[in-house]
Each structure stands twice: as structure tokens, then as C-alpha cells.
Structure 1
Amino acid sequence: MRVFQYYFMPMEDAQNIDALLSNCRELFNSEVNICLDFIRHLQVDGLKSAYREKVKQCHPDKARALGVSSDILKRTFVRISNAYETVLPYVTGEKDINRLITQQKKPSLRHDADQRQGQEQSVKKRDLWHTGSMPRKKLRLGTFLYYKRLISWQTLQEAIAWQRSHRPLIGQLALNYNFISVNDLNTIFLNVAPGESLCAVAKRLGKLTDHQIQTLLNKQASYNFRIGRFFIEMGLFSEREIAALLGSCTGHNRSVI
């Protein structure tokens, strides 16, 4: 079984950059050169203006006038809203765009198969690896692999970030639950202050209650992809090895009941 750590841009940052640029392109015309520097200099008013223009073209209330299905326009509106919700925190400063720019400028050092053995030890020195015994408590698969010293702490964090990145956005969930209307979501988006989260705005405007917000956050957290898929996609373990490790993790958890 292979035990190594890829040394390159953290998975969370790589996924955030890809998602950020892709969603920003949804909001701006193709003539705009979308890059991280563009987003760094983007102002909230500029983002809101681009969002307004896109919404004018796809608001479900325009279905009859445009002669198209309101369901089609709603799906387009949700896609534009998700794009806006993804980009907004980096423009307001809630998330750090400068850190992504720094990570993007770092050299990418991906391991080829013939390099792994020689580089494994140097990578371990730069990362945190568990050195103690296996704790006597129930563990999730990712944590179990860390305590078994099969993955590093950094790899565990990247796997968790990957899992979280596949969750649906709060705005989309609020629409799905009929907690808010399309117009409510539009109002929430256009009233976000710098550093303010979407849930905080919705509460301030009286669009969502504390109970509804907690329901949405719990539902969002429940949409977790199986973390084993991350390790397989990264080439750390094969499907057969993950299946065997899941069995070992289950056995461990039964032994500590």
C-alpha cells in the first residue's frame, strides 16, 4: 500500500481558484479578462452591477414576456445566483483573495511515479504526521487514515475541504426549501455589506429566521461526498485499498464501543 503525500498547491486552494474563476465568468461578458487580479480589484458595486444585468436576462418573472418556460429561467437564475454567492465573499473581504493569488504564483511540484520514493521523506519533514498511538474512540475514515499514519495532516485537511466544496450553496438550498423566493434571494444578494455572510444578511433583512438558517446549514453539511473518493482520485489509494481500509475503520469503531 502506498504511503506518500503529493506536494503542490493545496487541493482546497486549487478547487477554490477554479470555481472562483469559472463562476466569475458566469457574471461578466466574455470580453472581460477574468483572473484573480481582476477579482482582487473588483468592487462590490461592480459585482452587484454585473449580477443585476445577468438577472434582468433570466429572472423567472420574465418567462411570459420572453416566451420560455419559467423553470428554464429559474434554473438559469439559480446558476447565476450560485456564481454570485461564490464570488461575493472574495470581493467583500470575507475570504482572502490575496492568499489564493500567492498560492497560484507558487511553483507546482507534482510527483511522477519515479520521483515519489526519493521525495517522500522530504515531504514528510514539511508536513505533520501522527506519531502517537491509535486513539480509543470512534473515527471517520479520513481521521482513521491519519492516525494510522497513512496520510498527513495536510492531506486530511485537503480531503475535508474537497468534501465541503461539493456541498450546495446556501442560497440554492433556501430556494429549494421555499424559505425564500427568487425576489428575496435577489434582495439579499444586493444588500450584502463588506465582510457580511449571506446568512447574516438574510437575518438582518428578516428573510430567514435563526431556525431556518440552522436548518440550511445542517442540510448543507449533510451533503458530503464520500471522502474515500478524494483519496482514489488523488491516486493515494486504489478502490480495493479504500474498501479494505473502510473495513479496518469499521472494525476499529466496533472495538471501542
Structure 2
Amino acid sequence: MSTAIQETEILKACRTLFGADVWLDRRFLLYLQHDGAKAAFRKRAKETHPDRFPGEPQVQQRQSEQFQAVTHAYDLINGFLSTRDRGQWQPRPPMHGAAAAPRPSEKYRRASSEATAPLLSRHYQIGLFLYARGFIPYRSLIEALVWQRRQRPAIGETARRWGWLNETAVRTVLNHRASARRFGEKAVELGLLTPFQVRTLLFYQRSKHPRLGQYFVEKGLLSESELEQLVLELRDHNQRVRNGRPSTQTTF
């Protein structure tokens, strides 16, 4: 299946799961998390479950079809997220042919002097902000997100080092087939970890998460000083969005 067709199918599934009010594009697919998909599925499953209408066969039939569509969409999205998190998703670039990245000083001058279009009035994370401002190409954003995920410590390995699980228990969790797809959820389902232990492991994992911006410095796309300045601009933009004020930042 081609990337274009796959993206189209995943976006259709997201529309089924998240509704018509959510803005869907490749950037949404980049930042969508399992927890968000799971929460949306629970909400939609509750809304469409046929058992809500006992004694009304025609309504139940329609609800059953909607419920099946929601379940299929959720399964499709979960499969996509697992593929993406393994670094096996290669999205099409948003433009024809990505231009070579200019040196940091040239890139910074270009974005500062040629800006014309305002940023969207929404909260940005650093990677998407740098892409929207034109400081990094789309492929570098994808590569940075994959790099960041690969750098964080695995929950199972951390639990083993802390003495909460042994090697056999870790393999048991990894090989367990259940509705739960994440390591922590499966470990709780098997009774090998408590919810509190999983939350502690996730907090530790996030604390060891490398900063995404550092990737662009290491690759020579930005200098340390440029990144620091852009982080300040990002904070200012997000603060303005929270306060309901228009952003002063622009894209080129």
C-alpha cells in the first residue's frame, strides 16, 4: 500500500474517531498519541454502542454499523501508531522536493526577513513550531521525532533494573496478546505491576526524554543561540494563544 493511500485511510479513520471539529493533517498524525486515540475511542464507542437502544431493532442496526466503523477506525489508528513509533512510517513531504537546509545563520535571517503569513492561533510544540517557521525541513522533523523516541529508556528495562520485574516477567509482558497495547497496560493487566508503578516508570521515562531541539543543533540546522531565541519565541506564542491574543510570529 502506498504512503499516500495509507495516509488517506488513516486520516479517514481519525475523522471517524475524532469527529468533524478536529483539524486533520500530517502534523496531527505526527503528534497523535495512543492515550488520545484510546480516550476518543471510549467516547465514540459509548455513543454508538447498540445496547443503548434496547427494543429498537432498526436503531440498533444503525448503531451496530456505526460501532463497527468506530472499532475498525480505532484498530487502524493503533496499528498506524505502532508503525510510526517504530520509525517505519515515511510520510510524503508536504511540498514537491525538499530543499537543502541552509546554514543556521542564513536560515535564521531568511525566516526573520521574509516572513509573511501568521502562525495558526494554536499551541505549538518545538518541532512543529520550527517547521512552521521554516527553520527545518519536514523530513528533519520526522527524523527528530524518531530519534527522540529511540533515545528514551524502555519501561521494561527500567522496571528490571529497579527490581520490579525479572527478565522472565519482561518477556511475558512483551509476548502477552491482549487488548492493551502498551507495556505498562499489559503489565497491570497481568498483575505484574501496579498502576502506581507504571505511572512512576512513565514519569522517569519522560524525565530522560532528550529535548527535541537538541537534535537540530547536533545536525547543524540551528546553533545553540538560535535555538534559545526560538524557544523564547515559542513560549511567547503559546502564552498569547492561552491568553486569547494574536501571535506576533509569522511563517514564510
- Which range, TM-score by smaller chain? 0.3 to 0.5
Q: Which has the higher contact order (CA 8 A, sep 6+)?
A: 1
TM-score with structure 2 length normalisation?
A: 0.42
